[in-house]
Amino acid sequence: MDNTKGKLPFILVSPIEKFSIELSVKIGDAVGDFFGYPIKVLPLLQEIDFAFNSDRDQYHSTLILEKLSSLAPERCLKILAITDKDLFIPILTHVYGEAQLNGIACIVSTNRLNTDLQLSKNKVLERIIKESIHELGHTFNLRHCKDHSCIMHYCRSLEDVDLKSNNYCRYCEVLLSDAMN
């Protein structure tokens, strides 16, 4: 999938290791519609062993973001990496995703979003898209929002994720359009 002909900046969706290209394309479609940027799906990282922490049996997301931002191709506005590995930062038990605030790279993990075999695929995809829009919001310099229904609300659990909407509140919407212009 490459609709990035011309000189427009694009958002790069980057599946990590063997993460499904098909699912990455679906996530890209949703994110592209939402932000109004062309999407390119391209794996940038074949492995993330460098970020593995054996004590925690998890991957340190901050290190992956540093690596990704060094690999950004020309005209790439933002990188959204997707992995099925479990991510962490040192003070938290785990993260669904992390972003470089006002930076280029963000990452979302599907590891904890698919908790229940009885969940429909759509439900899981909805969570992945919410987290993708949340993390991309951070790359556009948005901070966490107190509004529980705003997509920039900080969610500790899946219950919180399912409760928030898939949209920015009016306040965050304004900040986002400022950042995008």
Among 89, 123, 166, 171, binds another protein (CB under 8 A): 89
- The one catalytic residue in 22, 131, 135, 173 is 135
Does 152 engage in binding with Zn ion (CB under 5 A)?
A: yes
Nearer Cβ to Zn ion, position 56 or 156?
Answer: 156
**8 CB-near residues (< 8 Å, 6+ apart):** 37, 38, 75
Termini Cα distance of the chain: 26
Nearer Cβ to another protein, position 45 or 106?
Answer: 106
Nearer Cβ to Zn ion, position 4 or 110?
Answer: 110
Among 92, 174, 179, 180, binds another protein (CB under 8 A): 92
Number of shown-chain residues binding another protein (CB under 8 A): 36
Among 11, 172, 175, 176, binds Zn ion (CB under 5 A): 172
d(CA 125, CA 5): 28
d(CA 30, CA 34): 6
Active site residues: 135
